[in-house]
């Protein structure tokens, strides 16, 4: 990782220079990531003013899972949509806040990509001024016809062409990959530009932290419980305990662990045997962060295998998630293989799409 370069590289310039390596590139892709950077600046601007402008607080509406939506969620959702609906670069979109595919208005015309996004992840942190984030990913449209379809959205993670996140923290950063390493940019609020600050991020070999909601321990499966004891240096031998850090805002937890080394986990459990899959959304959170982590030299698993290999069956599909240094994630898989056969019996049919989740209507 190179920090503090003398050359001032804006995100636009960086994306443009990366695309120059592909003689066949049309520039569409460059512009699409620029659209996301602009949306990020607008959301960052509102996020930092949230306490002042009375924009915080819950609205009366609920999202598709019956969760009350925060106003800033709606603002972020709308902003990303409006930055992308008219550009002729996209054929469809999907947002964590919408149950269904979001169509592009036909009069604007269609493009060759589809965009999936979680406009404001970790939204329970808005009112307490902790880090929140935006997550996005881009697939190439592959079906016939102009309009994007659900099939275009529900592609495996290994077919992603780009993914990124924005963290609204002590500073705003945008981190992205197009499959050529992971690059981070810090927003200079004085000039309104994202400036290259973290080039070619690699997850450090020596992990420092594990991040999990420890309050859920009573629901964990035996394998997960033993694994966390292993992370704490209690189970197994020959390694120091990792520190525990958990914001409860996945972008924040992910970002810290990417830069410092470690693992984020949100496991599945058998509290309700018909829902063995945990909380994290495959299409709006896990795929994008798995792609970024793997590009940074780490690995992402649902405990049974690579997140990027999962064939999605529904837009709001949930997935257990173990995300971080490769050896830590592999260790989690081995604990689950050894101690969580009962959980696997319930989870694997869901992973294969044999028991699709019934989405609760808002």
Tokens of 357: 């989740």
Minimum separation from the CB atom of position 123 to ligand FDP (A): 5
Task: Based on the shown chain and the rule CB under 6 A, indicate whether residue 248 belongs to the binding site for ligand FDP.
Answer: yes
Q: Which two tokens stand for residue 321?
A: 């998630």
E-only strand ranges, the chain? 58-62, 68-70, 90-95, 102-103, 113-121, 132-140, 162-168, 172-177, 182-188, 193-198, 209-211, 243-244, 262-266, 280-281, 299-301, 318-319, 321-324
CB nearer to ligand FDP: give 321 or 328. 321
Positions 315 through 344 that interact with ligand FDP (CB under 6 A)? none
Residue 61 lies near ligand FDP (rule: CB under 6 A): no
**Spatial distance between the Cα atoms of 23 and 277, rounded to a whole number of angstroms:** 43
Nearer to ligand FDP, 158 or 279 (CB): 279
What's CA 291's distance to the chain center, in Å? 9
- Nearest distance in Å: CB 105, ligand FDP: 28
Among 79, 249, 257, 301, binds ligand FDP (CB under 6 A): 249
Based on its alpha-carbon atoms, the radius of gyration of the chain, rounded to whole angstroms, reads 20
Nearer to ligand FDP (CB atom), residue 90 or residue 250:
250
Contacts with ligand FDP: how many residues (CB under 6 A)?
11
Contact residue for ligand FDP among 59, 61, 143, 213 (CB under 6 A): 213
Candidates 116, 250, 308, 319; binder of ligand FDP (CB under 6 A) is 250
Q: How many whole angstroms separate alpha carbon 271 and alpha carbon 342? A: 12
Q: 211 near 264, Cβ under 8 Å?
A: yes
Interaction mask 259-298, ligand FDP, x per CB under 6 A: --------------------xx----x-------------
Site for ligand FDP in 119-138 (CB under 6 A): 121-124
Q: With respect to ligand FDP, which residue has the nearer C-beta, 111 or 133?
A: 133
Query: What is the rounded distance in angstroms from the CA atom of residue 302 to the CA atom of residue 321?
Result: 5
Binding site for ligand FDP (CB under 6 A): 121-124, 213, 248-250, 279-280, 285
């Amino acid at each position: 990782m190179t920090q503090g370069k003398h050359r001032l590289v804006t995100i636009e310039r960086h994306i443009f220079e990366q695309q120059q390596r592909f003689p066949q590139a049309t520039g569409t892709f460059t512009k699409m990531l620029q659209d996301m950077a602009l949306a990020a600046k607008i959301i960052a601007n509102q996020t930092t003013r949230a306490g002042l402008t009375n924009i915080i607080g819950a609205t009366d509406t609920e999202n598709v899972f019956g969760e009350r939506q925060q106003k800033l969620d709606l603002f972020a959702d709308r902003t990303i949509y409006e930055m992308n609906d008219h550009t002729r670069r996209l054929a469809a979109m999907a947002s964590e806040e919408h149950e269904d595919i979001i169509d592009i208005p036909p009069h604007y015309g269609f493009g060759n990509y589809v965009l999936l996004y979680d406009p404001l992840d970790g939204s329970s942190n808005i009112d307490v001024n902790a880090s929140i984030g935006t997550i996005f990913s881009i697939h190439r449209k592959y079906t016939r016809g102009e309009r994007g379809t659900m099939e275009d959205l529900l592609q495996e993670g290994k077919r992603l062409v780009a993914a990124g996140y924005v963290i609204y923290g002590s500073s705003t950063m945008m981190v992205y990959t197009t499959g050529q390493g992971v690059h981070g940019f810090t927003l200079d609020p004085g000039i309104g530009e994202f400036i290259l600050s973290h080039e070619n991020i690699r997850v450090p070999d020596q992990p420092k932290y594990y991040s999990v909601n420890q309050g859920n321990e009573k629901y964990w499966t035996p394998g997960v419980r033993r694994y966390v004891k292993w992370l704490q240096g209690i189970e197994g031998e020959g390694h120091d305990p990792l520190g525990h850090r958990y914001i409860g805002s996945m972008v924040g937890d992910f970002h810290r662990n990417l830069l410092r080394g470690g693992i984020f986990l949100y496991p599945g459990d058998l509290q309700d045997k018909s829902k063995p899959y945990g909380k994290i959304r495959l299409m709006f959170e896990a795929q994008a962060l798995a792609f970024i982590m793997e590009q940074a030299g780490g690995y992402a698993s649902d405990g049974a295998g690579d997140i990027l290999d999962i064939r999605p069956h529904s837009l709001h599909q949930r997935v257990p998630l173990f995300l971080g240094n490769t050896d830590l994630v592999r260790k989690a898989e081995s604990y689950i293989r050894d101690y969580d056969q009962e959980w696997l019996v319930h989870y694997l049919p869901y992973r294969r799409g044999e028991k699709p989740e019934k989405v609760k209507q808002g």
